[in-house]
Amino acid sequence: MSRKYLSRKYFGTDGVRGKVGEHPITPEFVMHLGYSAGKVLTSASHLAQNERPAVLIGKDTRISGYLLESALQAGLIAAGVDVYLAGPMPTPAIAYLTHALRLQAGVVISASHNLFEDNGIKFFSGQGNKLPDETELAIEAGLALPIITVPSAKLGRAKRLDDAAGRYIEFCKSNFPYELDLRGMKIVVDCAHGAAYHIARHVLHELGADVIAIGVQPDGININADYGATAPKNLQEAVVAHQADLGIALDGDADRLVMVGADGRLYDGDQLLYIIARHRQMQGILKGGVVGTLMTNLAFEHAMQRQQIPFARAQVGDRYVMEVLQQKEWQLGGENSGHIICLDRHTTGDGIVSALHVLHALRVNKQTLEEATRDLHMYPQVLINVKVDKGVDCLGHNKVKAAVVDAENILNGKGRVLLRPSGTEPLLRVMVEGEDQKLVEQSAQRIAEVVRKLASSQT
């Protein structure tokens, strides 16, 4: 992790995020953020004479999106930037449309898989990429300066992008081979009452699938609540009840994916990434290797070794997976949480596009999810989130270090321990994995309890 990342005050691993109404997710701050971003993101743009810079704004289905969209829009317009409003759209849709429309930047108002009380702001460059540290630092520096509205004649304008959904649906479909279709497949898709509620089912239906959609009735407060990639129980039950071939679950902003087999079994990001990687290898189109993260299951790494596919681990977070992919000039990477990046097809992780790549592999090889992952024997992995208030250092404490050493000794070289702070929430994530389920669970609980006691004693 870079020193620059550590020095950032507001930007985390995925934009600026927090509880709505509490700093920094307030209308005043977001307006200032929009103004500063407008100045920074358009200052380096190659604009023709008299050409006005333009930025695309999308959001998920949280009720606070209305509030923050207006504030962000005001800040950008005050900076002299034209604004295109896409309405509720998946995060990867904004990345795609920003680049396709040759705009200077894209902004998404979303807190991804969090519940509705939270929200956030994340940015894309004109190329559809997440912003580098240097640009985020420049935007933060601009927050210390006053808002100076441009002269009235140079104020930005705002307009709706009415065909945003249709454009993105066609882009998603272009990721599935034209000569193939999904006819004969019954698929349940769970959109988490989020940004893909009016997108995902149409993509699958237009490719020929019999689609049953759940989690597609957003009301502003039910996003990610008991539905979606982080709460797949309803999907698992629906797949079995409808006797579907499989199920697809997205999160609130549709950049994350998990899938469910006909028997209700859940398949996470590691397993889905394995299917895509193996299919590409068999087709002879796997460029280089595959990037995972520190959370990637050890079994995945061992499977890559067996298949002679190079493998590298990045810090947790899709921005760090992207960094390693670019450094190595590889194209495929992802996280066990379900963020999967296919750099030859998109500039960012995309849940719908990733699902189509899995479906492509299953159709070509005439396999089920179970058959496609038969050679990948996942090790038991336990993840416990412990609330740790900001400023409390548990990682460096001797008691925590000792608990980790004890766990590693118990696992005896047949597993691993990872402790890491969340980049978006006040949590310390305790992860233990290994061959023995019982030892893994006991070790994770012991470490978590040490962290929990230490955290409570320092608050």
Question: Could you give the CA distance from residue 287 to residue 191 in angstroms, rounded to a whole number?
Answer: 31
User: Which is the catalytic residue, given 112, 125, 337, 354?
Assistant: 112
Radius of gyration of the chain (CA): 22
Contact between 286 and 310 (Cβ < 8 Å): no
Question: Could you give the CA distance from residue 45 to residue 429 in angstroms, rounded to a whole number?
Answer: 40
Concatenated DSSP letters for 51-87? PPPEEEEEE-S-THHHHHHHHHHHHHHHTT-EEEEEE
Question: What phi and psi, each to the nearest 5 degrees, are found at residue 63?
Answer: -60, -30
Token match 């002679």: residue? 308
Here the tokens at position 278 are 């193996």
CA end-to-end distance (rounded Å), the chain = 27
Q: DSSP H helical segments within 180-262, as ranges?
A: 200-206, 233-241
Distances 90 to 116, 141, 159, 248 between C-alpha atoms, Å? 16, 29, 19, 15
Token match 């009735």: residue? 217
**What counts of helices (H) and strands (E) characterise the chain?**
15, 18
Question: Could you give the CA distance from residue 363 to residue 45 in angstroms, rounded to a whole number?
Answer: 43
CA 60 from centre of chain: 13
Question: Could you give the CA distance from residue 24 to residue 115 in angstroms, rounded to a whole number?
Answer: 17
Contact between 227 and 214 (Cβ < 8 Å): yes
Closest among 276, 278, 228 to 256, alpha carbons compared: 228
Question: Could you give the CA distance from residue 174 to residue 170 in angstroms, rounded to a whole number?
Answer: 6
Our answer to whether residue 354 is catalytic in this structure is no
AA letter at 121: I
List beta partners, residue 420.
Answer: 429
AA letter at 351: G
The residues carrying an active-site annotation are: 112
